[in-house]
Amino acid sequence: MMKKLPRYSDCFICGKENHAGTDVTFTVSGDGVECEYVTDKKHIGYKDVLHGGVIAALLDECMGWAVSVHKKAMCVTGELTIRYKALLPVNTLVIVKGFVSSRQDERGEYCRGYGHIEDQSGKIYAKARGLFFPLPEESQDDVFEILEYVDTPDKKVIPEELWGN
């Protein structure tokens, strides 16, 4: 069974209460993190094609979760590079996948992640890579105060439970 990651209800990508957003659920899957998303007309850039900024945001969030799970600390983006490979039509089921790179910063100041968006046939629409930085300890606490579990939103998200320490 894949482990569902928590969400922040107002987040553009994972938030249940943000009606302008994508409302995806990220799961830990094998060696990374992923989510499914059916591209929505409310996110078009032009006629029947998903906006590139939404593609970037999905990849950013997915890679950020992959790195956070790996580091056992909430991380934020320091740098993001997207390579768009094909136009992504609306009403397409895609899988967004994020991973931790084997090549890391020797000093441990940041973590490298990479990811891509593919459809069910394996066609790649975009690839990404990024650098992610762990939040300071006091900011970690602030994040955990607003996160909620997808299936049990009233249960407090505790770092040790989330990371499996």
- pLDDT band at residue 30 under the 50/70/90 scheme: confident
pLDDT tens figures, 85-142: 999 999 999 999 999 998 777 777 889 999 999 999 999 999 999 999 999 988 999 9
Contact 112, 103 (CB under 8 A): yes
Residue 50 has a pLDDT of 97
- Which segment, 63-67, 103-107, 152-156, is predicted with the most confidence on average? 63-67
Residue with tokens 């409310």: 42
Contact 118, 62 (CB under 8 A): no
pTM here is 0.95
Residue 103 has a pLDDT of 79
Instruction: In whole angstroms, give the CA distance from residue 98 to residue 128.
Output: 9
Q: Which of 110, 117, 88, 145 is nearest to 157 (CA)?
A: 145
Residue 157 has a pLDDT of 94
- pLDDT band at residue 1 under the 50/70/90 scheme: low
Strand stretches in 6-156, DSSP E: 27-29, 32-38, 44-46, 49-50, 75-84, 93-100, 111-119, 124-134
Give long-range contacts, CB 8 A cutoff, 24+ apart: 139-146: 139/74, 140/73, 140/74, 143/74, 144/74, 146/8, 146/9
- pLDDT band at residue 164 under the 50/70/90 scheme: confident
Element (H, E) at 3: strand 3-4
Q: What is the mean pLDDT of residues 59-83?
A: 96
- 149: containing domain: 3-163
- pLDDT band at residue 165 under the 50/70/90 scheme: low
Q: Which of 90, 91, 88 is nearest to 118 (CA)?
A: 88
β pairing state of 124-134 and 49-50: unpaired
The one-letter amino acid at 22? T
In whole numbers, what is the pLDDT of the chain averaged over residues? 94
Number of independent structural domains in the chain: 1
pLDDT at 69 over 80: yes
Q: Which of 31, 23, 19, 27 is nearest to 70 (CA)?
A: 31
Q: What is the CATH number of the domain that holds 94?
A: 3.10.129.10
